[in-house]
């Protein structure tokens, strides 16, 4: 993987919000993101929702791209990035950094503003939000987090505080260096590894964010099992590229 050439300074940031069935939260999330200084475009990627997510996002001021069926977070992120690239092709100017935002953050999404300056100013190629303890405790035992943290450190030497955090601001050259993205729930781990192995700078930044957490019921257990599978697959593929076992 080659190190991308430095991008010319951008003046704005495009926020991409992958969302599925977030009708109860998406309007508040979009409103909060639109208030972040530097954000001049908000794109919600409706990933096969069965509710009014797309309509409410548009009413809140976002532009909307839609998947007819659920294709997963990595596909939604890719669709959002492609939408932004097409917009820039019409409007001109330097490529915007991309701010990835979970759709369930509601008003707390406004606190993601701290991720933007290091990337806009060229001090980091990707910033990653680290979250405080959530209002409701999750039902997991940390197996996926430990797998992700150890895998990232083994491959890159970087010790991530919250390796699964999905809230990130990334320069367009860094995003392009990490594509194609890892599938499914391995996308964040793959993105971190690929950006670091491209010789680029990653910085974790504390953010006061709150969102839904997976519970202890069977749905939560299934979600964590899928996360573990996808993270393990993302790490295995990157080890194989480097000739490691």
- Strand ranges of the sheet holding 39-47, from the earlier edge strand across to the other edge: 63-67, 39-47, 13-19, 98-100, 168-170, 126-130, 202-206
**pLDDT, average across residues 170-186:** 95
| pLDDT tens, position by position, 88-127 | 764 455 789 999 999 999 999 999 999 999 999 999 999 9
Task: Give the predicted TM-score (pTM) of the model.
Answer: 0.88
Report the DSSP pairing between strands 98-100 and 39-47: unpaired
Chain center to CA of 36:
17
Distances (CA, A) of 179 to 44, 75, 171, 190: 20, 11, 13, 9
pLDDT in tens, 206-243: 998 876 555 566 666 777 888 999 999 999 999 999 87
**What per-residue confidence (pLDDT) applies to 87?**
84
Cα 55 to chain centroid distance, Å, stands at: 22
pLDDT for position 221: 72
What is the rounded CA–CA span in Å between residue 173 and residue 117?
17
The CATH superfamily label for domain 13-137+161-213 reads Spore Coat Polysaccharide Biosynthesis Protein SpsA; Chain A (3.90.550.10)
Q: DSSP letter string over 85-97?
A: HHHHHHH-SSPPP
Asked if 52 contacts 46 with a C-beta cutoff of 8 angstroms, the reply is no
C-alpha radius of gyration, the chain, whole number: 17
User: Among the residues of 15-139, which ranges form H helices?
Assistant: 26-34, 53-59, 73-91, 116-120
Q: Does the bond joining 16 to the residue before it have cis omega, within 30 degrees of 0?
A: no
What number is the average pLDDT over the span 178-189?
Answer: 94
The torsion angle over the Cα atoms of residues 76, 77, 78 and 84, rounded to 10 degrees, is 110
Give the pLDDT score at 8.
46
Parse the chain into domains and list their residue ranges.
13-137+161-213
Q: Mean pLDDT: which of 94-98, 139-143, 168-172 is highest?
A: 168-172
Q: Which residues contact 241 (CB under 8 A, 6 or more apart)?
A: none
């Amino acid at each position: 993987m080659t190190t991308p050439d430095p991008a010319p300074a951008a003046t704005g940031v495009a926020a991409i919000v992958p969302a599925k069935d977030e009708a109860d939260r998406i309007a508040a999330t979009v409103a909060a993101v639109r208030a972040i200084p530097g954000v001049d475009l908000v794109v919600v990627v409706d990933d096969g929702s069965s509710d009014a997510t797309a309509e409410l996002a548009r009413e809140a001021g976002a532009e909307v791209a839609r998947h007819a069926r659920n294709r997963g977070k990595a596909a939604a992120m890719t669709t959002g990035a492609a939408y932004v690239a097409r917009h820039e092709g019409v409007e001109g100017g330097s490529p915007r950094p991309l701010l990835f935002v979970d759709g369930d953050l509601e008003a707390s999404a406004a606190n993601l503003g701290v991720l933007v300056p290091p990337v806009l100013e060229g001090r980091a190629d990707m910033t990653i939000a680290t979250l405080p303890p959530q209002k409701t405790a999750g039902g997991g035992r940390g197996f996926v987090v430990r797998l992700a943290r150890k895998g990232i450190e083994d491959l890159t030497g970087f010790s991530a505080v919250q390796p699964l955090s999905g809230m990130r601001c990334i320069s367009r050259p860094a995003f392009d260096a990490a594509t194609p993205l890892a599938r499914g729930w391995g996308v964040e781990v793959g993105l971190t590894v690929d950006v670091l192995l491209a010789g680029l700078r990653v910085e974790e930044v504390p953010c006061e964010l709150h969102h839904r957490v997976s519970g202890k019921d069977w749905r939560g257990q299934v979600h964590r099992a899928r996360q573990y599978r996808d993270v393990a697959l993302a790490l295995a593929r990157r080890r194989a590229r480097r000739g490691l076992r």
